[in-house]
Each structure stands twice: as C-alpha cells, then as structure tokens.
Amino acid sequence: MRIVIVGNGPGGVELANQLSGEEITIVEQEKVPHYSKPMLSHYIAGFIDKEKLFPYSLEWYEKKGIDLNLGARAELIDRARKRLITSEGEIPYDVLVIATGARPREPALEGKEFVHTLRTLQDAERIKEQIEKYEEVLILGGGFIGLELAGNLAKAGYKVKLVHRGSNLLGLDEELTKVIMEKLECDGVEFYLNANALKADKEGVLTDKGYVNGKVKICAFGIVPNKEIAVKSGIHAGRGILIDDHFRTSAKDVYAIGDCAEYNGIICGTAKAAMGHARVLANLLRGREDRYDFEFRSTIFKFGNFPIALIGKTRGGGKWLDKKTKVFLEGGKIVGAVVMEDIRKAMMLEKKIKAGVS
Ligand code: FAD
C-alpha cells in the first residue's frame, strides 16, 4: 500500500512513524525536518537551542523507510488517476492523507504589517531577533499560544504585555482566569482584558481602551485550517476539510487529520490531538478497530513556570476539589477538570474522566 502524506507536522510525522514498514512518502513545503511548534516560544525566550526543536533527524526518516520530500508543495489531487500533483512532480498513491495543519488567523486591524504571527520556525526566528533587540513584547490574544509566549518571555526577563478582547482566558470561568493571571503577573506579565485592538503602529497598539506601548507585537488570534488543496480538488470542506469518524474525506481513499480536519464542527487545534488522530488512523488503515473521541479534549500547557491541564468539559459551574483542581460535573459525575501544577494528578484524572469512573 503506497501511502502519501501531505504535511510533516505532528499529525503527518506521527502517522508515518506508526505506519513504518509500509511504503510511505511525506510531501512537505518547508525545507526543514519536523520541528516542535509547542517548543517555539521556549526557543524564542532563549531557554533551548535551535537543535532541540528537532526531535527526528534526517537519518531517522531514512531508517524508518520514510521518503521525505522537503520543499515540495502539494498543489492538487488528481483523484481519477490517484496522483498527487506537487511543485516537484507527480506522486502516485493508494491512500492519501492530508495533514496540512493550519496558519495563524490574520489580525483584522489597520497597521497589521507591524504585527507578527507565530506558526513556523521562520516566524520564530524573526520574532526572536526583534525581541532580543527591543526586549519588550506586546501579545494580542489570550489563547494558549498567547499565554505560552507571555509566560516564557516574562520568565526570560522580557517586558510582556498581553491584550485580550474578552474577560475570560481560555474560555474558562472568572475564578480560573484570575488564578492564571495572578500566576503570570508574578512573573511580570501585564494584562489588558476587555480591550479590542483597533490599530497597530511602530510603537504599539491602539485599543478601544487606550494606547498600549510595545515595539514587538505578536498576534495570536487563533488558526485558519489549510483546506485549499482539498477545495481545489473538489473535496468537501467547511471551516476545515470535512471528515467522518474514520477520518475519511468526501473523496475515496483520501483522509484528513490534525488541524486541517473538521469533524462535526470541531477543529481540534492541538499537537496532542493531531498525534491522536494519526495513531487512530494508522490502526484503521491497518484494518484494526479504533475510534477517536473528538468530543473529549485534553491538553497540558505550560505558561512559563505554570503548567495547567484542561481536561474534558471545562465550562459551566465548577467545584474546587482542592486549591489546584477545579472539576466540572454533569449528573453528579465529573466530566471535566482544570488541574494546575500537578501534572501527574491531571493525567490520573484524565484517565478516570475518560473511563467515566469519577
Ligand atoms: P502542522 O503542525 O501545521 O503541520 C502541517 C504541515 O503541513 C506544515 O509543516 C506545513 O508546512 C505543511 N503543509 C501545509 N500545506 C502544504 C502543502 N500544500 N504542501 C506541502 N506541505 C504543506 N499544541 C499542543 O498540543 N500543546 C502546545 O503546548 C502547543 N503549543 C503551540 C505553540 C505554538 C507557538 C504553536 C504555533 C502551536 C502550538 N500548538 C500546541 C498547536 C500545535 O502545534 C498544532 O495543533 C499542531 O502542530 C497541528 O499539527 P498538524 O500536523 O495538524 O499541522
């Protein structure tokens, strides 16, 4: 079975890893091997060297028998001939997996040319250079990428401001938002909540609550799935590439996983989910029974010195189990939890909640 994977992010690389032994080709538009996006803010902050971003060497791909095509952009899927058309030529497939990920949502504000976004190593290098020059940063957006950046850069001693248009962080309630803010404020992050960015210039950003100074500006307003190759090839797409619970797209033998895929209105948006999709799809392609639970989300983030796990349903009325754990109940059962600092506990709770025994 010739399996062609478009994209060498965590979804694509994990799928190739799981299916090693099969005839695997990866097509990747970037010119570098797989690197860790969750570690980019650690790299920008100066906590790790660039080499540490690369978990797999080129030899690793070779040993695994993965044919890695770097610097090749997938353009179109010729479904009738079962060929992927790339910038470097055509590749025949039996199974094609689209794992093209996502890109940052562009800020819809005047002066967006003064604002960076962060997704790739190249973005990180650009931002790192600027931050080292100006030693201050203004982050727009209080999602997990904004908070990771804020935490790490403040921990590294940079002056950090974070502007967020809502009053709650990560969609959590007021109490949890307050705890996250207090932790990050201890490291020096200055928060501007309920502030809508209107216009950026060289020196900072004008919001509807006033002007906030910051020479280096990074916008983290969420993601836009890279669905274009599917759309161009006549494959059904909504916000992302539409898939069923077996990761099948509307085209025969074409699958989609990771940030580019949309299941029942859900775009997972984390590396953990992309790798989870890859593991389940690998089993399905090998004819084994498996299932991915799209409704159950669980991720551990580290905002500087502060690790936090969001498990299952984390909205609505919650109850504190202890100072570091808030749980969310439905019908007397724990269906979600936010666990701060104690990651072992978070992992235990995740297992229990998933198994429905808490
Ligand atoms: P991607 O990682 O986006 O990879 C897709 C690949 O496809 C890219 O390499 C792209 O170049 C390639 N590609 C796209 N189109 C084409 C084409 N037409 N032809 C060829 N190649 C193409 N997640 C977590 O779980 N925890 C975290 O702490 C965390 N922190 C993050 C911090 C940052 C700064 C960022 C940017 C992301 C973070 N994430 C985190 C999110 C996580 O990185 C993504 O969810 C994950 O990378 C998605 O994996 P993917 O394989 O679907 O797509």
pLDDT digits over 277-325, tens only? Answer: 999 999 999 999 999 999 999 999 999 999 999 999 998 889 999 999 9
Residue 155's CB: how many other CB atoms inside 10 A? 20
Residue 354 has pLDDT above 90, yes or no: no
Above pLDDT 90, what percent of the chain? 96
Residue 207 has pLDDT above 90, yes or no: yes
Q: Which residues 6+ apart lie within 8 Å of 113 measured at CB? A: none
- Pocket lining: 74 vs ligand 1, CB cutoff 6 Å: yes
Q: Which atom of ligand 1 is nearest to the CA of 75?
A: 18
How high is the pLDDT of residue 286? 96
How high is the pLDDT of residue 356? 80
- Pocket lining: 119 vs ligand 1, CB cutoff 6 Å: yes
Mean pLDDT of 323-328: 95
Q: How far is the CA of 227 from the centre of ligand 1 (A)?
A: 13
Average pLDDT, the chain: 96
Burial of 76 per CB tally in 10 Å (0-12, 13-18, 19+): middle
Give which of 252, 284, 255, 249 is closest to 4, Cα–Cα: 255
How many angstroms separate the CA atoms of 22 and 282, rounded?
A: 11
Whole-model pTM: value is 0.96
pLDDT digits over 109-152, tens only? Answer: 999 999 999 999 999 999 999 999 999 999 999 999 999 999 99
How high is the pLDDT of residue 357? 72
Mean pLDDT of 184-198: 97
* CA-to-CA dists, residue 98 to 54, 141, 287, angstroms: 22, 28, 19
Q: How far is the CA of 31 from the centre of ligand 1 (A)?
A: 15
How many angstroms separate the CA atoms of 257 and 279, rounded?
A: 10
Pocket test of ligand 1: the residue of 8, 14, 36, 37 to mutate, having most ligand atoms within 8 Å of its CB, is 37
How high is the pLDDT of residue 332? 87
- Pocket lining: 276 vs ligand 1, CB cutoff 6 Å: no
Residue 249 has pLDDT above 80, yes or no: yes
Q: Which atom of ligand 1 is nearest to the CA of 302?
A: 28
pLDDT digits over 17-76, tens only? Answer: 999 999 999 999 999 999 999 999 999 999 999 999 999 999 999 999 999 999 999 999
Q: How far is the CA of 103 from the centre of ligand 1 (A)?
A: 8
Q: How far is the CA of 357 from the centre of ligand 1 (A)?
A: 33
Q: How far is the CA of 352 from the centre of ligand 1 (A)?
A: 29
Please say whether the beta carbons of 329 and 277 come within 8 A.
no
- Pocket lining: 37 vs ligand 1, CB cutoff 6 Å: yes
Give which of 93, 56, 10 is closest to 268, Cα–Cα: 10
How high is the pLDDT of residue 358? 67
Above pLDDT 70, what percent of the chain? 100
Identify residue 304 by its one-letter amino acid code.
Answer: G
Mean pLDDT of 69-91: 98
